[in-house]
Structure 1
Amino acid sequence: MAGPLFEHRDRSFWLLQIGGWAGYALVNYIGSLMHEMRDIYTVVLLLGAYAGFLLTIPLRYLYQRIWELHPVLLMLVVITASYVCASIWAVIDNATYWEIYKFGFRPDSPFFYFKNNLAKFYIVLSWSGLYFGIKYYQMLQGERQKALMASSRAHQAQLKMLRYQLNPHFLFNSLNAISTLIMVKENDVANKMVNKLSHFLRFSLDNDPIKKITLQKEIDALMLYLDIEKVRFDERLDIRVSITDEAKLALVPSLLLQPLIENAIKYAIAKVEDVGILKLQAYVEQRRLVILMCDNGPDAPDKPQALLNNTGVGLQNTQERLQALYGKQFSFNLKPNQPQGLCVEIILPYETLENP
């Protein structure tokens, strides 16, 4: 039951908030039964618990805003906010005692007020500790669920990707191109193509799609695939790559770009009568990695985003895989290219080996 309860953050907060302060009032009431107290003391306890309930609600929204602060600064803010909240609560509590609980008791000693304030401070600080503890637990549960979903999606993507990469048409075209090179005595070129094909297939088989690699390694593997395709298309395929040095260090899911490139070659470049152009750009902007891949295919739809509804390993599978790996921290958009063609834009959190 704990899992589903903590998964719904708003609902769990209010249930715990109400239950916690009701429990606080109950514990204090049971403690009062050990002493001879007037019946009006029950009202005092309820009002005190209600004041604590109301005063701690703003702390939740404050803590949500300061969540990303440095731990030391975060701790200082939490302690300060807890003390201010406790002080206000102590003032309200004292006023309640004086006005409702008429027992001939108005302490003149400042130590009483300090002790009461300190007790309230410990209670509010404990509330803050519980809030952060539950919040971290929810985050860990969320990361665990994303990891499980990513693992499932990645294994599905791996099976589909291998089938897609080992597509008989792709292998047939590659081997046919190699055979043609051998027939025309271009043995050196044929040998290089065999090596590139071997390295590309080895990369495809060896890399776990769950793990991330640098964008530089991803581009290197992609160029092996594109070099094979360039032999097929000869001068009809123009590849333009522009990757900043900072972007090369970024971590991305392995085999991220290959299905997108293969889609572009199959559905766009192959239909271009003149020269098919593939542009691949990557740069870092505001701690986000931006990857832009464009083609000049003639049959791009007016509303490219509708292509995501198609089934298969290409666009939709890539989007689902990113969704599993990054949750809401990514963007995957399809846009029309100018003067013709399609652009795929991927925006990811900028992660490196030093700062994963």
Structure 2
Amino acid sequence: MLGRWKALLDDRNRFFWVLQAAGWFGYALVSYIGSLMHEMRDIYVLIIVLGAYAGFLLTVPLRYLYRRIWDSKPWLLVLIALAAAYVSASIWAVIDNTTYWEIYKFGFRPESNWFYFKNTTAKFYIMLSWSGLYFGIKYYQMLQDEKQKALMATSMAHQAQLKMLRYQLNPHFLFNTLNAISTLILIKENELANRMMTKLSSFLRFSLDNEPIKKIPLAREVEALMLYLDIEKVRFDERLKVTIELDDDAEHALVPSLFLQPLIENSIKYAIAKMEEGGEINVQAKREHEELVVIIADNGPGTKQPPADLVNKGGVGLANTRDRLQALYGKRYSFTLTANEPSGMRVEIRIPFEQVDA
């Protein structure tokens, strides 16, 4: 039912004819009810129908006239509308008077012209009301169109922002990976370089296949993360240890595509890479009521800077991820960076829990 109403509102031409027919039917109905109070003869129903039909026909040209002068200056638009309403009312009054005196009064004519003037004035007010409704509905539709365009422009800007934030990470990640491959080639580790290039190809394919403005199940996000970690393990070998713990509910939760990779990359760069013996990164995800909680913690050396400063000064990964979450969820998220116990850093992200459709 709602779909039919929406289709009717979207079809402006059909919407006009529905309102036109309903409006003049209402006019005829009100006139008929008024005639019952004066004990009119049954034939007066024909007078009412003819009058409503004449009004229906006479207002159709007004629609096309108003559409042609729509972009005129306001004062000119008002003058033309008044003149057109008066001319239409005069023609309608002549038709109405003719049908009334010829059909209902059998050719009798009143001695005074006051009746004709009063009828024309009444018809003029009705035509003005019709014109006012037409302009009011037209302006409302125009405002709705402008609102829709503004929403579409905002949506497009929002999508462009999300794409920019996601794709901003790719050059940063590619630089590090290609630099590592170049180093492997220079030291004659061609097999490792080939393995790393294969993993990189798979990761980039995943990145291209998933739009930055869309959300994917967390389980699939972890698959992409494993592709990235396979690349990094070529560089760090046994020095890099990663544990991933996902609740059953969390696996099916929707998350922004590739939002874990920059956080893991940040931990590797500022924690694991600085430790000769290597380190461990732990990724946890669980559902708490209507929120999905994701925690990324490392056992690196940590930092002496306040954690809040690291979000803005700690490279692209942290700030970029926070900005993406803000663009996607507005105020319905939290991004917290704190010191981990006994050492390292801990990132906790809370976003609305959204389940994958069955």
Question: Taking structure 1 as the reference length, what is the TM-score of the superposition?
Answer: 0.54
Q: 2:254 matched to which residue of 1?
A: 251
Q: 1:308 matched to which residue of 2?
A: 311
In 1, Cα distance between equivalents of 2:294 and 2:149: 30
Task: Give the RMSD, CA atoms, in angstroms.
Answer: 2.7
Higher gyration radius (CA): 2
Q: 2:283 matched to which residue of 1?
A: 280
- Say if 2:160 is the partner of 1:160: no
Equivalent residues in 2 for 1:128-139 (5 A)? none
In 2, Cα distance between equivalents of 1:260 and 1:324: 17
Q: CA deviation at 1:308?
A: 1.9
Gap regions ≥5 residues in structure 1? 1-139
Q: 2:159 matched to which residue of 1?
A: 151
Gap regions ≥5 residues in structure 2? 1-147
In 2, Cα distance between equivalents of 1:291 and 1:181: 40
Contact 1:178 1:193 in 2 (8 A): no
Q: CA deviation at 1:142?
A: 11
In 2, Cα distance between equivalents of 1:274 and 1:141: 57
Deviations 1:70-124 (A, max 9, x none): xxxxxxxxxxxxxxxxxxxxxxxxxxxxxxxxxxxxxxxxxxxxxxxxxxxxxxx
Contact 1:216 1:248 in 2 (8 A): yes
Q: 1:339 matched to which residue of 2?
A: 342
Identity of aligned residues (%): 48
Equivalent residues in 2 for 1:31-42 (5 A)? none
In 2, Cα distance between equivalents of 1:311 and 1:271: 15
Q: 1:111 matched to which residue of 2?
A: none
Q: 1:218 matched to which residue of 2?
A: 221
- Say if 2:211 is the partner of 1:208: yes
Contact 2:266 2:317 in 1 (8 A): yes
Contact 1:178 1:194 in 2 (8 A): no
**Shift in alpha-carbon separation, 1:317–1:180, aligned structure 2, 3 A:** same
| 3-state DSSP of counterpart to 2:168 | helix
- Where relative contact order (Cα < 8 A, 6+ residues apart) is larger, the structure is 1
The residue type paired with residue 292 of structure 1 is I
Q: 1:230 matched to which residue of 2?
A: 233
Q: CA deviation at 1:336?
A: 0.5
Question: Taking structure 2 as the reference length, what is the TM-score of the superposition?
Answer: 0.53
| 3-state DSSP of counterpart to 1:166 | helix
Contact 2:302 2:339 in 1 (8 A): no
Match of 1:171 among 169, 178, 195: 178
Contact 1:174 1:228 in 2 (8 A): no
Q: 1:317 matched to which residue of 2?
A: 320
In 2, Cα distance between equivalents of 1:178 and 1:245: 42
Contact 2:286 2:292 in 1 (8 A): yes
| 3-state DSSP of counterpart to 1:282 | strand
In 1, Cα distance between equivalents of 2:202 and 2:310: 31
Contact 1:329 1:348 in 2 (8 A): yes
| 3-state DSSP of counterpart to 1:290 | strand
Matched pairs, number? 211
- Say if 2:343 is the partner of 1:354: no
Q: CA deviation at 1:231?
A: 1.6
In 1, Cα distance between equivalents of 2:335 and 2:154: 18
The residue type paired with residue 310 of structure 1 is K
Contact 1:295 1:341 in 2 (8 A): yes
Deviations 1:29-54 (A, max 9, x none): xxxxxxxxxxxxxxxxxxxxxxxxxx
Deviations 1:216-272 (A, max 9, x none): 111101111111111211111111111112111011111111111111111111111
Equivalent residues in 2 for 1:62-141 (5 A)? none
Q: 1:91 matched to which residue of 2?
A: none
Equivalent residues in 2 for 1:181-196 (5 A)? 182=189, 187=191, 192-196=195-199
In 2, Cα distance between equivalents of 1:215 and 1:156: 22
**Shift in alpha-carbon separation, 1:145–1:251, aligned structure 2, 3 A:** farther
Deviations 1:296-355 (A, max 9, x none): 221423521221222753111111111111011111000101111101111111112228
| 3-state DSSP of counterpart to 1:229 | helix
